[in-house]
Structure 1
Amino acid sequence: MRLICYLHLQDPKCEIRKVMQFLGKDLTEKVLDRIVYHTSFDMMKENPTTNYKMAPGFLVEQGYSPFTRKRIAGDWKNHFTVAQNERFNADYEGKMAGTTLRFRTEV
């Protein structure tokens, strides 16, 4: 069965179920709710283990740009060149080849 989510930003639990199904996992609603909570933009932006504040300086240049920025879907278009986007798409397609898991990059 293929799970289709139509309102991605309004229903992150649906996206999590899609990954869960891809991984062959079956989690309770309580666990799904906790995952939704802890993976929300606001929680991840403040969590030093997910916002790269704990990463060594040689891996992440903190002064350049924060890891989590605006929470605007599609904002990547303002920062990637056409060439960068094409390289990303080629890399993504190569790594996701043979899987049924697909993600949208814009709304």
Structure 2
Amino acid sequence: KFMKGELSWGSWYDHVKGYWMEREKKNILYLFYEDMKENPRREVERIMRYLDLSLSDEVISQIVELTSFKNMKDNPMANYSCIPSPVFDQSISPFMRKGEVGDWKNHFNPEQTKIFDEDYEKQMKDVNIPFRSLI
């Protein structure tokens, strides 16, 4: 379903490509999960600058803590556990697993990885998004 775009919110590829291609023309801040995992404070400060805000170190630290993977995994508004199972069945695959960069490799066998890589290459050929799989 993921590769076919048969998700409640539509195609992941279309979503990501659309925002990436508009990022220079519109008021869009593009964040990467790997960057947030690598240095959450830096990314919160980046958001703060983007929004032209000035926050105290204490408030920034609170934001970093409240947006940590552990806290968000326990928050129904962030982990999507409040969404009915006919729309998003978390018994098949929870929205939030471990919060580790590259953990997808533990869920794909070599054949699935090959199929996904080929589909990704085809779907994303027109964009050059600097995704990282390691930090």
TM-score by length of 2: 0.53
- Indicate the SS of the match to 1:69: coil
**Count of aligned pairs:** 93
Alignment of 1:21-100 (within 5 A): 21-77=49-105, 79=108, 81-86=116-121, 87=123, 93=129
Cα RMSD after superposing both structures: 3.0
| Counterpart among 18, 31, 49 of residue 46 in structure 2 | 18
Structure 2: state its 5+ residue gaps. 1-34
Deviation at 1:59, TM superposition (A): 2.5
Structure 1 length normalisation: TM-score?
0.64
Q: Which has the larger radius of gyration?
A: 2
- Identity %, equivalent residues: 33
Q: Which has the higher helix share?
A: 2
Unaligned ranges ≥5, structure 1: 1-6, 94-101
Aligned-partner Cα distance in 2 for 1:63–1:8 = 27
Q: Which deviates further from its counterpart, 10-19 or 82-91? A: 82-91
